[in-house]
Amino acid sequence: MEESNACAPTTVSPRIEDRHDDKPERPNIQVVNLKSNWKPLQIVSPVNSSMKAYTGEVTYSMFEWWNHWPVAQVRSSGISAVAPDRPSHSSLSHIIWDPYTKTDNTMTKILLHGLTTKSAAQLVPLAKSWLSAPSIEVSGVGFQSQGYDQTQRAFVVTRQTATSAPQLRILLQASSESPLINPAFVIRNWGDADLKFRIDRKLVARGADFRYGFVPTLEGRDLVVWLKLDSERPTRLEFAATK
């Protein structure tokens, strides 16, 4: 699950990928080795995945850059930039992976990206937490689990009835193969009640490691929770309305 691509000059042979016979099968983690401390990362599904360094093409610059659609407001693709007169982009590598969903007329692809100080190998637990999230068990009157939503990187629970103050208990079966790393939760139709929260029966105060907020909808008000948490063992969470 490791791939690390460095910036390549345009004079590199078009067959640079042939020199890397030791690259892993189905690579799905990339760290771009810029000179900055924080480096761009990308994580994709390993299903039918592949990566290769960009190998250059004939252009107007020593370092390829383009300003085609959607920056150019015309139907265009592959238009090289000749002046810094509009937003542009370049390419260091190519990642190929399967669509998340696909219909006759649409295709949706998702990837996890951001900045990191870690190596590609050190990002394996993060990749597992997103691609192989722990199973979730829900208990509480009127609550039903919707499972893990990779597109939101969040566990989703729906409150179907609102006959009393909400009280929700969640058991996450975290393990080394399905770790919890900074999980998020979307509790649909939570309501107007503020939140009292516990992890493994320990009360947690709202702050830098425990954040939550509310999103108004046409049906009610959703609760969104984020935790700074790293766990490889079963973890119990309790969500309760404050009195």
| pLDDT value for 18 | 52
Rounded-to-integer distance, Cα 197 and Cα 238, Å: 6
Whole-number pLDDT of residue 83: 84
Q: Provide the Cα torsion 176, 180, 181, 185; round to 10°.
A: 160
**pLDDT score at 16:** 46
Q: pLDDT at position 2, please?
A: 44
Element (H, E) at 152: none
Report, in angstroms and rounded to the nearest whole number, the Rg of the chain calculated over CA atoms.
22
pLDDT at position 146 is 97
Whose tokens are 């907020």? That residue is 213
Instruction: Check residue 219 and give its pLDDT.
Output: 85
As averages over each run of 10 residues, the pLDDT of the chain (243 residues) reads: 43 48 83 94 95 77 80 78 84 90 94 96 96 96 95 96 86 97 97 94 94 94 97 97 83
The helix or strand, by DSSP H or E, that contains position 112, with its residue range, turns out to be strand 112-116
Please state the φ and ψ torsions of residue 45, each to the nearest 5 degrees.
-65, 140
Q: What integer pLDDT is reported at residue 210 of this predicted model?
A: 96
